[in-house]
Structure 1
Amino acid sequence: MYYYPLQPPYCLLFVGLFIAITSGAALSGTLKLVVQKWQNTSTEKPQSSASWKQLLSVPFLGITIGTCLFLASGLEIFGFPTSLALGVGLPLSLLTCLLVWFQLGSMLNFAERKGLQALDLDS
């Protein structure tokens, strides 16, 4: 009647969380370096958007994979069959990460055009 996995993928849940957290830390460090480089070379034209997208794509891809693995494993732990857990987790995590990627890209393009002072949200 009910589907109960014999061995829920707890290990995959923690591996996905670990991948997402470490990739997030790498993305944070990369973003800090890009912004610091922009501040140091404020008189010159900043690097092209293609180069920072290449820098950010590897950590962001790690976040996407880790989030997908975490979400699919979590759904499977709560009783979803593996195919349904992947069918829900994969599109949901890919869509969310794609939207975040576009937002990050637009914010970095805005900062490149208008300067970092235009992003000051406190004032």
Structure 2
Amino acid sequence: MTAGLLAGMASGLAFEATLKQSVQLWSKNRSRQNLANLQGLQLQLPFLGMAGGICVFLASGMEIFGFPKLLSYALALPLTVLTAWLVWTQLGKLLIELERGGSQALDLDSFEG
């Protein structure tokens, strides 16, 4: 359980640093490459590490409550894959929005309800 949590956290920090660096580099250069293309192997690898750590953490958490190991992973794996796919898709949409409208496009405080 602890190993999954630590792996997920370490990969999450690497993912954050890589994403920030890629966006800052794009922002300085405003290169011809669009932001959605920044989701290459450099960003995918820590993301997959984070998802793997989360899967191990979820399965270990279920094992604590008495679920068999096979059943725990059978439940944790699809849940992790679905969540990771949704987050990756949303990240792509946010990067496109950032490219179109700059950081003001992501300013949630500017919306008044």
- Segments of structure 2 that go 5 or more residues without pairing to the other structure are none
> More helix per residue: 1 or 2?
2
Aligned to 1:40: 28
Deviation at 1:49, TM superposition (A): 3.1
TM-score normalised per structure 1: 0.80
CA distance in 2, matches of 1:45, 1:113: 13
CA 1:112–1:39 in 2, change beyond 3 Å: closer, same or farther? same
Is structure 2 residue 14 aligned with structure 1 residue 26? Answer: yes
- The alpha-carbon distance between structure 1 residues 46 and 120, as it changes in their structure 2 partners (threshold 3 A), is farther
Structure 1 residue runs of 5 or longer lacking an equivalent are 1-12
1:34–1:52 contact (8 Å) kept in structure 2 = no
Structure 1 CA distance, aligned partners of 2:35 and 2:94?
14
SS of 1:116's partner is helix
Over the aligned positions, Cα root-mean-square deviation in angstroms equals 1.6
Where in structure 1 do 4 or more consecutive aligned residues deviate above 4 Å? none
Q: Indicate the percent of aligned positions where both proteins have the same amino acid.
A: 47
1:93 deviates by 1.1
